[in-house]
Structure 1
Amino acid sequence: MRTWKRKGRGSSLRICSQLDPHEVELLASMIGSMQELLTERDASAPRDELSELTGIRVGHTEAPSDVTLGRLLPDFHRPDQDRELAADVVNGDVNSALRSVHEPHIIEAKLTAARVVLDTLPRGGGDLALTEAQAMEWLTALNDVRLALGAMLGISEDTPDQLPPEHPHAAHLDVYHWLTVMQELLVESLM
């Protein structure tokens, strides 16, 4: 991946870069995997008569047990954020209600961003020219994929910048850093 560059002005403004064929394949694969996780989560949401009658979608009331999904769909409020609320209230009623109401919309937004990336990837590699709106969707999808990979790898402040080449996660950590750089450069080009 080359750096992102702004070309044009106004409605003709494009955020441009180039991707190698293997980068396109890697992004498509990772985003496709994330789409599957989110689609399965959405499909497994409870359905009730009221939501069927009103058309108002509801989601799960419980946080995902999967680490990766948990990172993509975290609780809305944690006990350490507000000392005034008792932990059982925050973890129970508040998060359950917020999750039920908002999770379907969050999943849809993440899936929309993923679709934009997949639709705009240059097949077989090559030039990429995004509108500002598409670039914002790319930021969302890149962040989501990076968060998912980071959760799977257990990335923390203590994670070294590099792992020994023989380490089973060495290549995955390199991909994580590549996504981080791609995201940072895209943010800079949008500013």
Structure 2
Amino acid sequence: MYNGELVKLRAYKEEDIERAVGFINDEEVKKLLDSNTPFPMTKWQEEEWIKSRKAGSDSTYDFAIEDLETGKYIGGCSINECDLKNRHCTIGIMIGDKEYWGKGYGSDALKVLIKFIFEELNMNKIKLGVFSFNSRAIACYKKVGFKEEGILKYELYRSGKYYDIVQMAIFKDEWI
């Protein structure tokens, strides 16, 4: 529905569920994505999550990320916590298919998502939090224009150790 150079952001399809379960239950993906205890998710839970998401609600928007060339579902991104009065929102992204890591698919998806947020939702600020050990994601966010706003010290407990969460943002007037 919304195209970049490498990806298309579109609605989730029922046939995405199997791959989505595989992505979310991959140990490395889950480590980079989920701040809760990394517990496996069932197919039923993922199916219910996808079905529960309302396309275009006032506070949440979810997109599947598809490879433009092959039509393959490779991940997802979302817009959450839309504050319509103050014009800011929080985003999340996951490239679950590891074959697509480090090849520009995440940054292309982010560019499409940012454009949608600023041009269609008329937001002024986009925020996100990223685990301090996720250097690949931090580099990707910086590549598309996000800047560090602060650090939540020792906010995440993972594998017997505490880690920081880096808060980042991009503003509409800086993006344009």
Query: TM (normalized to structure 2)?
Result: 0.31
Larger CA Rg, structure 1 vs 2: 1
Query: TM (normalized to structure 1)?
Result: 0.29
